[in-house]
Amino acid sequence: MINNRHIIWVILPLLFLLISCKVTQQPVKTVVPEAESKALSLLTEDQRQQFQYLFVEGIKQRTIGNSEEAIKIFSRCLEMDPYSSSSLYEIANIHLVRGDFQSAMMMLEKAVSLNPNNQYYLILLAKIYQQNKLYEKAADSFNLLAELEPDNTEYPIFRAEMLNVAGKPEEALACYNELEKKWGVTEQVTLGKQGIYIKQGNKQEAYHEVENLVVKFPGESKYYGLLADMYLADSLMDKSLENYNKVLQYKPNDGFVHFSLSNYYRVAGDYDKSYDHLKIGFESSDLELEAKIQMYVLLAQSEEHPLKEDQQLELINVLIDKHVDDERPRALLAEFYLSKKKIKEAREQFRLVVEINKGNYAYWERLLFIDNDLSDWKSLSQDSKAAIKYFPEQPILYILDAVSMLQLGNYQDIFAVLDSAEANATDNNQVLSQVYTYRAEAFYKLKKYEEAYSWFEKVVKIDPQNYLAMNNYAYYLSLRSINLDVAEKLSSSVVQNNPNNSTYLDTYAWVLFKKKDFKLAKFYMESALSNSKEDSPVLIEHYGDILFFLNEKENALLQWKKSLKMGNPSKVLPEKIKTVTFFESVED
């Protein structure tokens, strides 16, 4: 069952969030130093001018982001005038921006004690009390604000909500009832009361509050929707449907109404009708795309009665038709194809996505990784270069371009690309690890072995968990039969951390083979073969080599023949088979 809280008609009181937003959106005010300060009035004219100069300089430093200097300056203002509430207020603001709510609260409380009628002080203090979860004190602050500004309709509402959050629902209700006597039935007050009654389990009063809104505002369809949701939550299906249909009378083409009815029929177990209303909601021109996408994701990922595959496709195509200039429906379709392992179809959609919106980095990265997964190195080269034009500061794009160059054998030009990746890495060791790895690989392919080994050493130093680089380094050393102790140490560490990886096990076996530890090499090679998802001609050839030196020549010959039949391109393998003799190979 889809929880009714996801349906648009549930208008639970969100005043706590509203308060947070309301206070957060208050601009940082600069409060002119108060002329009534007794200490300031006792200063000489020169001292007062110095105070004013310091205060303005403090504002300047705070504005340009020099918070430490600003605090020092405002502290000097307080030395000259200990009663300067404006200086306290400015210091509190700086602490608040830093996230030091405790220090901000102390400063504001003192500022309010010195100047209790300043609304900006009280508003900021109420926010800080909220951040420190001192909701009752926040309620007191809003009460003081309401007394200072009797015509303001928000402060009393905020006070009631704070009392409720503070665990004083009866006091909050009393506050709401007092406001209702003053203003009559209003949405904010009624929904505030309804929320408390729901929390208390007093359903009768909760229904009564919403019914009051229906009576007071008979033409407002959303209250029928809210009432319908409440009935649905209580499994009063007939009353729920009756109220949903009333909403439909007012707004027959409203997408949200049809989403609500879709939820109703889903709860009722009529999935065909549920889907019919869902599709009407998706076809609605009045409903924003964001709401449709949220509904799609919610239902597609539902563990209980998720959308069928054909339904998902149909709804996504509705979104594509209805929102032709927006790339997000196609991105949804691409993700759908990925979930079904249809990688090429997903890539086709992502190509259309980046055509519509070239400025979204995440889309480009998704496309490039699909190129990589498909081992389509030409496309990866083209797409990475296209992405770099729009995001030249993203090192991952250069790294993916470098991957394509390695695979296409373009070793000479790769270094300039990797230099660009490093220039944009901003000391990110994970990125640098990739850059150094591909430099090492390129140097190795160019047969500049010492340079390659030097870069591999740098990789190991900055990223001891780059197992792929460590494995390749060990394998390259073993191929040339040099530094085999280093190779064994590296490969052993890789295998310990990846005990089921057939490629890494093969490398370790080959290093042991080169060290003439044939029995242990056989053990690890057989582990590699058992962990390999599919037969590898290279692993099988290596296995034959090990068997040969264990004097199992018949079995070795069988493995070599099997490897050749699988298409192993090794130049020495046919000679091994012909002469039943091992030949050294430095092929990688």
In a domain, 108, yes or no: no
The residue segments making up the domain with residue 385 are 375-463
The count of other CB atoms within 10 Å of the CB of residue 99 is 9
In a domain, 446, yes or no: yes
Domain identity same for 439 and 522: no
**CB-based contact 350:361 (threshold 8 Å):** no
Boundary (domain end) residue, out of 463, 495, 516: 463
Residue 510, pLDDT > 80, answer yes
Domain identity same for 494 and 574: yes
Q: How many domains does the chain have?
A: 2
Boundary (domain end) residue, out of 401, 431, 463: 463
**CB-based contact 9:222 (threshold 8 Å):** yes
Domain identity same for 486 and 561: yes
Domain identity same for 380 and 419: yes
Q: What is the pLDDT of residues 119-160, one digit of tens each?
A: 999 999 998 998 889 999 999 999 999 999 988 888 988 999
Domain identity same for 428 and 483: no
Domain identity same for 431 and 487: no
Cα(524)–Cα(575) distance, rounded to whole angstroms?
26
In a domain, 522, yes or no: yes
**What is the reported pLDDT for 136?**
93
Domain identity same for 483 and 457: no
Cα(366)–Cα(584) distance, rounded to whole angstroms?
43
Domain identity same for 566 and 492: yes
Domain identity same for 506 and 436: no
In a domain, 570, yes or no: yes
> What's the CATH code of the domain at 399?
1.25.40.10
Q: What is the pTM of this model?
A: 0.68
Cα(123)–Cα(127) distance, rounded to whole angstroms?
6
In a domain, 174, yes or no: no
In a domain, 44, yes or no: no
Q: What is the pLDDT of residues 196-229, one digit of tens each?
A: 988 888 989 988 988 888 888 887 878 888 888 8
Q: What is the pLDDT of residues 303-338, one digit of tens each?
A: 888 899 999 999 999 999 999 999 999 999 999 999
Q: What is the pLDDT of residues 156-205, one digit of tens each?
A: 889 999 999 999 999 999 999 988 888 888 888 989 999 898 888 898 99
Domain identity same for 434 and 380: yes
Residue 308 DSSP one-character state? P
Boundary (domain end) residue, out of 463, 495, 520: 463
Domain identity same for 486 and 545: yes
Q: What is the pLDDT of residues 257-297, one digit of tens each?
A: 899 899 899 988 999 999 999 999 999 988 899 999 999 99
Q: What is the 3-state secondary structure (H, E, C) of 31-100?
A: CCCCCCCHHHHCCCHHHHHHHHHHHHHHHHHHHCCCHHHHHHHHHHHHHHCCCCHHHHHHHHHHHHHHCC
In a domain, 366, yes or no: no
Domain identity same for 428 and 392: yes
* Amino acid occupying residue 58: G
In a domain, 422, yes or no: yes
23 band by pLDDT with thresholds 50, 70 and 90: very low
252 band by pLDDT with thresholds 50, 70 and 90: confident
